[in-house]
């Protein structure tokens, strides 16, 4: 027998051909591992969610490279991500895609997109890389995974097959029609892993207040949302949008991420305060309003308030405070002015009655990070089992951060497997 045949035959299974799975497979290819690589995808195409991400434009990563600022964008999992981001930070992700023939651009807000504005180009690059090199099994769902003495037995509609190494990259539970239906949580449990509490994140909300829905389409550049409960205060700052059902926009998504596990329904609404301009606080605003009124006594109060926020919202604020919008500002009493200042600085209350069902972008919670080695992505419970991507208890804000963590953890899993195989051989 020569050396080659003496070696243990190695087959690697990657479960899920999304961002993390495709990056893990591409990395194994780059590392030229001496193993058969099988990528299983239940859809008839790879990267369905990647293709539609960013409204089809695919916000691939972020232009933020400052480690602390970057990590602050992750509501869960930031510490765990440190080694993965050490290996594959946003600027290396940027370089990698450009080297693969996908020119990228950075927007003013530091989101990164393909210059083509087409997420399908990102997926095509992986398809081209894999041709004749990786066994891509499309339309083939992994039904179960069973750890054995030699590795893992995977079951599909075609029967059972054994693999020495398995990488679970089957995503979370959000946008289920893209194939991410939470199967990975069951696979992890079959391998004795724990799953933390799961919840939707990066979602819009339905609200009780009709006036809010009447403002549908109106946006606020830099709003702040705060919880108005006695519990620990939560807040978020950023662009805001009124919709026909309630509220949306980046600040709402960030707020939903911070409140992913709060119970919210009609019977138990979450009371929040909307501050139309995050810079406002009662004292500075009341002083400003006092000056504006003093200088413009003949002006109608609606015209004064419209200088502080959008006219439609200004009208609502006057309605809520029961002040005639046509009243001359010189006629506004101190108590009325105070009320307006309060409404513009946190007292404008909204009752969130539901998370907009099915429109969340990511799942909060997942495979317990305490049970995974963050330096390798290998299970601390079962050797040769790896995890990457959203199946883990990691989620970030909008702005390219979720794909960034999927690419980076997929890359780290691929690199670690390659290193392990090289040492074994």
Under the rule (CB under 6 A), what is the footprint of ligand FAD?
Answer: 15-21, 40-43, 48-50, 52-54, 58-59, 141-142, 169-171, 174-175, 179-180, 183, 361-362, 389-391, 400-403, 406
CB of 41 to ligand FAD, least distance (A): 5
* Min dist. Cβ of residue 33 to ligand FAD (A): 20
Q: Which residue number, 50 or 340, has a Cβ lying nearer to ligand FAD?
A: 50
Cα separation, 392 vs 171, in Å, equals 8
Q: Which is nearer to ligand FAD, 155 or 290 (CB)?
A: 155
The residue (of 74 and 240) whose beta carbon lies closer to ligand FAD is 74
Q: How far is the CB of 368 from ligand FAD (least distance, A)?
A: 16
The residue nearest ligand FAD at its CB is 18
Q: Strands, E, within 288-405: which ranges? A: 349-355, 362-364, 385-387, 395-396
- Minimum Å distance from CB 200 to ligand FAD? 11
Nearer to ligand FAD, 164 or 396 (CB): 396
3-state SS class at 345: helix
Of 23 and 207, which CB lies nearer to ligand FAD in the complex structure?
A: 23
How long, in residues, is the chain?
Answer: 425
Eight-state DSSP code of residue 384: T
| Token digits of residue 84 | 């993965």
- Structure tokens, 367: 């495979």
**Cβ-count burial 385-409 (b if 16+ within 10 Å, e if not):** bbbbbbbbbbbbbbbbbbbbbbbbb
Closer to ligand FAD by Cβ: residue 200 or 346: 200
Strand 165-168 vs strand 11-15: parallel, antiparallel, or unpaired?
A: parallel
Minimum CB–partner distance for residue 405 and ligand FAD (Å):
7
Whether residue 57 contacts residue 117, with contact meaning beta carbons closer than 8 Å, is answered with yes
* CB nearer to ligand FAD: pick between 142 and 251: 142
Task: Considering the complex, state which of residue 90 and residue 246 has its C-beta at the smaller distance from ligand FAD.
Answer: 90
Q: How far is the CB of 168 from ligand FAD (least distance, A)?
A: 9
CA nearest to 259, candidates 108, 269, 267: 269
Structure tokens at 262: 């709060």
CB of 225 vs ligand FAD, minimal distance in Å: 21
Give least dist CB 176 to ligand FAD, A. 9
Q: Which is nearer to ligand FAD, 53 or 376 (CB)?
A: 53
Shortest CA distance to 25 belongs to which of 39, 11, 15? 39
Sign of the CA dihedral running 317, 321, 326, 331: negative
Per DSSP, the three-state class of 264 is coil
CA angle 92/93/98 to nearest 5° reads: 95
* Cβ neighbour number for residue 52 with a 10 Å cutoff: 16
| Least distance to ligand FAD, CB of residue 299, Å | 44
Cβ-based neighbour number of residue 235 at 10 Å: 17
Q: What minimum distance in Å lies between the beta carbon of 2 and ligand FAD?
A: 36
Residue with tokens 């953890």: 409
- What's the Cα-to-Cα distance from 143 to each of 79, 98, 211, rounded to whole Å? 32, 36, 48
Q: Which is nearer to ligand FAD, 204 or 402 (CB)?
A: 402
Check if the beta carbon of residue 320 is closer than 8 Å to that of residue 342: no
């Amino acid at each position: 027998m020569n050396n080659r045949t003496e070696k243990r035959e190695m087959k690697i299974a990657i479960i899920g051909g999304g961002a993390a799975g495709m990056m893990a497979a591409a990395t194994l290819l780059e590392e030229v591992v001496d193993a058969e690589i099988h990528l299983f995808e239940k859809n008839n195409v790879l990267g369905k969610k990647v293709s539609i991400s960013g409204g089809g434009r695919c916000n691939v990563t972020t232009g933020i490279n400052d480690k602390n600022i970057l990590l602050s964008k992750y509501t869960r999992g930031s510490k765990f991500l440190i080694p993965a981001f050490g290996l594959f930070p946003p600027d290396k992700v940027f370089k990698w895609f450009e080297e693969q023939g996908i020119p990228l651009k950075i927007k003013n807000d530091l989101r990164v997109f393909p210059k083509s504005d087409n997420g399908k180009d990102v997926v095509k690059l992986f398809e081209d890389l894999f041709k004749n090199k990786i066994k891509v099994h499309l339309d083939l769902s992994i039904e179960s995974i069973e750890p054995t003495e030699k590795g893992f037995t995977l079951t599909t509609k075609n029967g059972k097959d054994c693999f020495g190494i398995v990488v679970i990259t089957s995503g979370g539970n959000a946008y289920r029609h893209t194939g991410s239906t939470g199967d990975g949580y069951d696979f992890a449990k079959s391998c004795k892993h724990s799953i933390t509490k799961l919840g939707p994140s990066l979602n819009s909300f339905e609200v009780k207040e009709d006036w809010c829905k009447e403002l549908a389409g109106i946006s606020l550049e830099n709003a702040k949302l705060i919880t108005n409960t006695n519990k620990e205060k939560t807040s978020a700052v950023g662009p805001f949008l009124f919709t026909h059902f309630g509220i949306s926009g980046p600040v709402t998504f960030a707020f939903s991420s911070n409140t992913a596990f709060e119970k919210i329904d009609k019977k138990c609404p979450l009371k929040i305060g909307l501050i139309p301009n995050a810079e406002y606080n009662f004292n500075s605003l009341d002083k400003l309003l006092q000056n504006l009124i003093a200088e413009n006594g003949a002006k109608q109060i609606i015209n004064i308030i419209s200088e502080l926020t959008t006219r439609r919202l200004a009208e609502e604020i006057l309605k809520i405070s029961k002040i005639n919008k046509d009243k001359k500002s010189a006629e506004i009493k101190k108590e009325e002015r105070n009320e307006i200042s309060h409404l513009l600085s946190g007292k404008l209350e909204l009752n969130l009655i539901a998370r907009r069902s099915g429109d969340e972008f990511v799942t909060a919670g997942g495979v317990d990070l305490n049970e995974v080695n963050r330096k390798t992505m290998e299970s601390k419970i079962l050797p040769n089992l790896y995890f990457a991507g959203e199946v883990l208890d990691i989620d970030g804000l909008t702005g390219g951060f979720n794909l960034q963590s999927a690419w980076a953890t997929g890359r780290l899993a691929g690199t670690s497997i390659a290193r392990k195989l090289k040492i074994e051989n």
